[in-house]
Structure 1
Amino acid sequence: MANVLMILSGVDHWTGADGTRLPAGYWAEEFAVPHRKMTEAGIHVDLASPVGGKPTPDPDSLSTEGAGPRGPEFATYVDDHSDILGNPKPLSDVRSADYDATLLVGGHGPMEDLAHDPDMGRVLSDFEASGKIIAPLCHGPAGLLSANKPGGHWLFEGKTLTGFTNEEEEEHGSATFAPWLVENMLKARGAKIQSIEAWGVNIVEDGTMISGQNPQSSGALAGKLIDRLTAH
């Protein structure tokens, strides 16, 4: 049986460019859809967050207004899995040797904590060094920013990937609030970004990196991950 580590933000807010805070966290669809698909495929899934404790779903990701007609479905899935969501591993306790892949769940929360977390950087460095799959989704690629080589160069410089685009941030209405945009920061650090039209399903593969553009790409990302893991 393959083992996958899903990493979720541990914060309940997002600090804007003006210093104010908005409720945030992980995006429920990006946990619910991959988790369901992977467990149904017989893959063992563990959860982790920076300090352990129960991660907070972005309130918008639980409603029809914020997440579309399936919002309540994702809210129910989160409630039904409150036992595992209530006790994720602290990232400081994660050993990459225990897993075959990691999936970084999005939402604005990762911009607040995963992007700067030293244990996030250590875990990613270990996975990359071991040639294991790293699968960031939507705002999850913000977590990639935590990993650097000795000397300060970004670990994933030159990688081709995707993530939540500037266009999607603008259409979501959060671009003016944001202290920085995921697409801009990834490009500035040296990533090669491949995106499609806003809200389209887009998966980009580059070696052991499999990335998804947005919440709509959650199922496709999980499918690619399952295919890779079951092929071995």
Structure 2
Amino acid sequence: MPKVLFALTSHGQLGDTGRNTGFYVPEVAHPAEVFRSHGWDIAFVSVTGGNSPRDGVKDGDTVTEAFLASHEQQLADTPTADTLDPADYDAIFYAGGHGTMWDFPDATALAQLAARIYEQGGVVAGVCHGPAGLVNVTLTDGTPLVEGKQVSAFTNEEEDAVGLTDVVPFALESALIAKGAKFTKSDNFQQFAVADNRLVTGQNPASAAKVAELVIAELA
């Protein structure tokens, strides 16, 4: 069966705010349900391994509750990218959460793993702040993965709307554009996802399941 690797942040502090952050659990749980319903296997990796900090769990989200109940052991002991073989995966999915803004861009082993999955014919995906991990993914020929491709992510306007423009270490939309991405987006917090030559990205949490659907379509 096809296999998707969810990449998770290991960063748990929201700058100097005193607030906790981590990977945004619904942005994994809802896509995971889409993949599962299509017969895909699911695995996890994180920047430093072990138990990744979590954010975004809300009462009444039964999909997320079921996901956590069935994957607790895997989430408690995630491997690091340097221990994994890219040949084992058909896609890598960078999950969001504000923590990604601090550790995804400099996660060299994770970026190398994503580039190898892509160059073997797989799909690279990300949603919301997850595309922070794409900023420094470089292909063998030295080209940034996002260069010349349609890409979406949490927008500068959305960051401003949640009051964190001066907290995050950089503006994600601007960083992707600087790498040559053709940044594309919808209105704040509306579902929006785009696929371009096996690169699939979504704008915000509402787009997470759609990203999974597009990943599956890219490999169909």
**TM-score, normalised with respect to structure 2:** 0.91
1:53 match: secondary structure: coil
Q: Which runs of 4+ in 1 moved over 4 A?
A: 149-153
Matched, 1:183 2:204: no
Aligned: 1:144 with 2:134: yes
Check the 8 A contact 1:5/1:47 in 2, yes or no: yes
Superposed, which structure 2 residues align to 1:4-83 within 5 Å? 4-15=4-15, 22-58=19-55, 61-63=56-58, 70=61, 74=64, 77-83=67-73
Give secondary structure in 1 for the equivalent of 2:53.
coil
Give the partner amino acid of 1:3.
Answer: K
In structure 1, runs of 5+ residues without a counterpart are none
Partner of 1:85: 75
CA distance in 2, matches of 1:211, 1:221: 6
Q: Deviations over 1:85-114 (max 9, x none)?
A: 112221111211111111110011111111
Consecutive unaligned residues in structure 2, runs of 5 or more: none
- Correspondences of 1:88-107 after superposition (within 5 Å): 88-107=78-97
Q: Which string of whole-angstrom CA distances, capped at 9 and with x for unpartnered residues, describes residues 117-157 of structure 1?
A: 11012112212322210111111110012323579763432
The TM-score, its normalising length taken from structure 1, stands at 0.86
CA distance in 2, matches of 1:192, 1:46: 30
Alignment of 1:144-223 (within 5 A): 144-148=134-138, 154-223=144-213
Partner amino acid, structure 2, of 1:51: T
One-letter amino acid matched to 2:7: I
1:183 Cα deviation (Å)? 0.5
Structure 2 residue identity aligned to 1:226: I
Match of 2:201, SS? strand
Question: Residues of 2 paired with 1:192 and 1:111: CA distance?
Answer: 20
1:98–1:76 distance in 2 versus 1, CA, 3 Å: closer
SS at structure 1 position matched to 2:166: coil
- Letter of the aligned partner of 2:10 in structure 1? G
Structure 1 residue identity aligned to 2:43? D
Shift in CA distance, 111/152, structure 1 to aligned 2, threshold 3 Å: farther
The one-character-per-residue Cα deviations of 1:10-62 (angstroms, maximum 9, x if unpaired) are: 121233xxx6654111011101101122123210111011121011112xx12
Tell me whether 1:124 sits opposite 2:114 in the alignment. yes
Shift of 1:73: 5.7
Using the TM superposition, name which of 85-94 and 208-217 deviates more.
85-94
State the distance in 2 between where 1:149 and 1:62 align. Answer: 35
Cα pair 1:161 1:211 within 8 Å, conserved: yes
